[in-house]
C-alpha cells in the first residue's frame, strides 16, 4: 500500500461477477496517480517483492514446502512475457521455476492434459511462473474444437480439483488473466511487423486468432465463472498499459507472499559455538 495504491490488489482485481465483454482494458484498478508515479512505485515495490521472495527461498532451503505459483493467461501480445521479464526478473533467478506451455508435443498429447503441468510445478520455496498453463485446455482447445465438448467440459471440474490439491499441499496460486483491447493488440502486432528485431515474436496465426475473439471472450467468461474458486481465485488485469500491469502483478505477488507470514528460518546449529569454532578454523 502507498499513497498511489490504497486497497489490496486482490480486491481491486477480483474477477467475481465480472463480464468479460465489459472489461475496460485501459482501466487501472487500485491505482491512483500518473504513469511516472506508477513507475516509481514499481521500482520500490520490486525491492519489497525481491526481499519477500528471498525469505520464501530461504524457508524452502530449510525444508518448508510452500511455494507461490503465478499463472499467466492472456491473448497474444497481452504482455505475459513482459511480466516474466520485468516482474519475475526483479527477483533472484535461483528462486524462480519458470515454465511456458505452447502447443503440446506429441508425447504430451499422449498424456492427460495435466501431466505436463504437474511436471512443471514449483518446488518448495520457489516462485513458480506459468506463461500459459492448463487453462489453454479450456481456451484454445475449446475455441478450435481440438477435443470434443464432452472432454473440455469436464476439465473445469478437473482443474478445480487439481488446484485444490495444490493449495492443500502448500502452493498459493495467483491466477492472472490479462486483457488488452483488440485495438491495442493491433498496435502491438503492427510493431512486431514493422521492427525486424521483433519479427521473431510474430506468427501469422496471431492475426487469424483475432477472428475468434468473440469465442475467446465466451471461453474466458466460463473460465472466470467456473474456475475462480475460494482457494484459487482469478484476477482480471486490464493490460493496455504495460507499466500498470507490471505494478499490479507485483502487488498481487507481494500480497500472496505476505500472507505466508514468513520469518527467517531459525538456526539448526548454535551460532555462538560455531563462531568460536570458526575463529580457530
- Sole binder of its own copies in the list 88, 139, 178, 224 (CB under 8 A): 88
Is 100 a residue that touches its own copies (CB under 8 A)? yes
CA torsion, ordered 121, 123, 126, 130, to nearest 10 deg = -10
For its own copies, how many residues bind (rule: CB under 8 A)? Answer: 45
Residues in the chain: 281
Q: Which three cell numbers stand for residue 61?
A: 532451503
Smallest separation (angstroms) from its own copies to the CB of 75: 13
Please name the helix (run of DSSP H) or strand (run of DSSP E) that holds residue 239, with its range, or none.
none
Tell me whether residue 78 or residue 224 sits nearer to its own copies (CB atom).
Answer: 78
C-beta closer to its own copies: residue 103 or 275: 275
Distances in whole angstroms, Cα of residue 93 to Cα of each of 44, 127, 129, 132, 187: 19, 9, 12, 20, 32
265 lies in the binding site for its own copies (CB under 8 A): yes
103 scored as a contact of its own copies (CB under 8 A) = no
Calpha distance 50→13 (Å, rounded): 22
Binding mask 178-197 for its own copies (x = CB under 8 A): --------x--xx--xx-xx
Q: How are strands ordered across the β-sheet holding 127-131?
A: 96-100, 127-131, 67-74, 171-179, 234-238
Site for its own copies in 111-150 (CB under 8 A): 129, 131
Q: From CA 135, how far away is CA 67, in angstroms rounded?
A: 20
Contact 239, 79 (CB under 8 A): yes
Give CA–CA dist 141/119, Å, rounded.
20
CB of 225 to its own copies, least distance (A): 28
Does position 58 interact with its own copies (CB under 8 A)? The reply is: yes
Q: Which is nearer to its own copies, 58 or 114 (CB)?
A: 58
* Interacting residues toward its own copies by CB under 8 A: 58-59, 61-62, 81, 84-85, 88-89, 91-94, 96, 98, 100, 129, 131, 186, 189-190, 193-194, 196-197, 199-204, 207, 210-211, 264-267, 269, 271, 274-275, 277-278, 281
Amino acid at each position: 500500500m502507498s499513497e498511489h495504491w490504497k486497497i489490496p490488489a486482490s480486491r481491486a482485481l477480483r474477477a467475481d461477477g465480472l463480464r468479460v465483454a465489459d472489461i475496460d482494458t485501459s482501466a487501472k484498478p487500485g491505482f491512483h496517480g500518473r504513469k511516472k508515479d506508477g513507475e516509481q512505485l514499481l521500482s520500490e515495490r520490486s525491492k519489497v517483492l525481491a526481499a519477500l521472495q528471498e525469505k520464501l527461498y530461504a524457508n524452502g532451503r530449510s525444508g518448508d514446502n510452500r511455494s507461490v505459483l503465478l499463472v499467466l493467461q492472456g491473448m497474444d501480445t497481452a504482455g505475459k512475457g513482459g511480466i516474466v521479464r520485468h516482474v519475475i526478473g526483479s527477483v533472484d533467478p535461483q528462486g524462480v521455476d519458470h515454465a511456458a506451455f505452447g502447443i503440446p508435443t506429441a508425447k504430451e498429447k499422449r498424456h492427460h492434459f495435466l501431466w505436463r503441468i504437474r511436471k512443471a510445478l514449483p518446488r518448495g520455496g520457489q516462485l513458480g511462473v506459468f506463461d500459459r498453463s492448463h487453462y489453454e485446455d479450456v481456451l484454445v482447445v475449446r475455441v478450435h474444437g481440438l477435443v470434443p465438448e464432452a472432454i473440455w467440459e469436464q476439465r473445469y471440474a478437473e482443474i478445480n480439483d487439481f488446484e485444490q490439491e495444490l493449495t492443500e499441499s502448500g502452493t498459493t496460486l495467483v491466477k492472472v488473466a490479462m486483457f488488452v483491447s483488440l485495438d491495442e493488440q493491433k498496435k502491438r502486432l503492427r510493431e512486431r511487423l514493422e521492427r525486424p528485431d521483433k519479427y521473431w515474436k510474430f506468427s501469422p496465426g496471431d492475426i487469424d486468432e483475432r477472428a475468434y475473439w468473440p469465442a475467446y471472450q465466451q471461453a474466458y467468461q466460463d473460465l472466470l465463472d467456473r474456475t475462480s474458486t475460494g482457494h484459487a481465485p482469478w484476477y482480471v488485469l486490464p493490460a493496455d498499459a504495460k507499466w500498470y500491469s507490471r505494478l499490479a502483478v507485483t502487488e498481487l505477488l507481494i500480497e500472496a507472499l505476505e500472507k505466508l507470514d514468513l520469518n527467517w528460518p531459525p538456526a539448526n546449529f548454535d551460532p555462538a559455538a560455531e563462531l568460536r569454532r570458526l575463529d580457530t578454523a
